[in-house]
Amino acid sequence: MNTMIKGNTKLYCVIGNPIEHSISPQIHNSIFEKLENNSIYLPLNIKRENLQESVGVFKNSFKGFNVTIPHKQDIINYLDELDEQASIYGAVNTVKVQDGRLIGYNTDGYGFSKGLEINNIDVKEKSILLLGAGGAARVVAYELINKGASLTIATRDEKKAKNLIKDLENIFGKNSSSYEDINKVKAGYFGIVNATPVGMAPQVDAIPINEDVLKGTEFVFDLIYNPYKTKLIEVGESYGAKGINGMVMLFYQAVRAQEIWKGYTLEDSKTLPIYEEVEKYLKTI
């Protein structure tokens, strides 16, 4: 980190609780260090009960901030404006401070789609198995249907998957999303996306589906980035699938956040070398 903090240094941060394990500071500061002078990004531990009183500080002192668990929904109460996509997801991960106003965005969908794009995966008219029906699954489902995929949402709680399917129908009209019990799902999908925390450190030997389901699939996109390679990806790769971990999504949601804050476009030719550097770092933790 070479930035000397001065009176006019532009401040950015991520707010959440806990925040110690966030790798967003590494990602954002790496981008700032390479592409932008005089900006810095800090991890701020803000408890749920302190969110409201903290908002004034962000408004006055920061140019923008990211929002993570547990504030992604609550922050909406304090915004002056909400971007359409964030409104559809009902969750905000990026806030821009503009002329004393707070504008909320969600860049997770962009990050996920960029992960598919970088790996040359076209899901149009393909059947995709999505595991989970939480906040991240909602974003992924929206992106996949928007790209013309047909979706099977597999969960342990039927009601949650069916609620998500109903919400998707409200947005897209009738679509081909369907429900499966995560413990009974069978092989036959073009791609599998894991949006459950199953397999995340320290439970690294856990896998959310029966291993046989991975047979014949072209890609396995696990939103988890710690460990770098989950068991799901490991088994998928052993059956010949392309494995993609959550790092690419995390990195490109950050890139999109910076584009929103700064009002410019960051070309792949500039971001890819930084991505490779951050990825190398991540493999060591």
Instruction: Give contact residues for ligand NAP (rule: CB under 6 A).
Output: 108, 111, 132-137, 155-157, 160, 182, 195-198, 200, 208, 223-225, 246, 249-250, 253
Smaller CB separation from ligand NAP, 174 or 186: 186
Residues 6+ apart with CB under 8 A from 35: 266, 270, 274
Smaller CB separation from ligand NAP, 16 or 64: 16
Residues 6+ apart with CB under 8 A from 193: 128, 129, 130, 131, 140, 144, 220, 221, 222, 223
Smaller CB separation from ligand NAP, 64 or 132: 132
Smallest gap from Cβ 16 to ligand NAP, in A, equals 12
Residue nearest to ligand NAP (CB): 134
Smallest gap from Cβ 50 to ligand NAP, in A, equals 21
Give the three-state DSSP class for 166.
Answer: helix
Smallest gap from Cβ 264 to ligand NAP, in A, equals 22
C-alpha 157/C-alpha 136 separation (Å) is 16
Residues 6+ apart with CB under 8 A from 201: 226, 227
Smaller CB separation from ligand NAP, 67 or 97: 67
Residues taking part in catalysis: 72
| Cα dihedral: 174, 176, 180, 185 (round 10) | 180
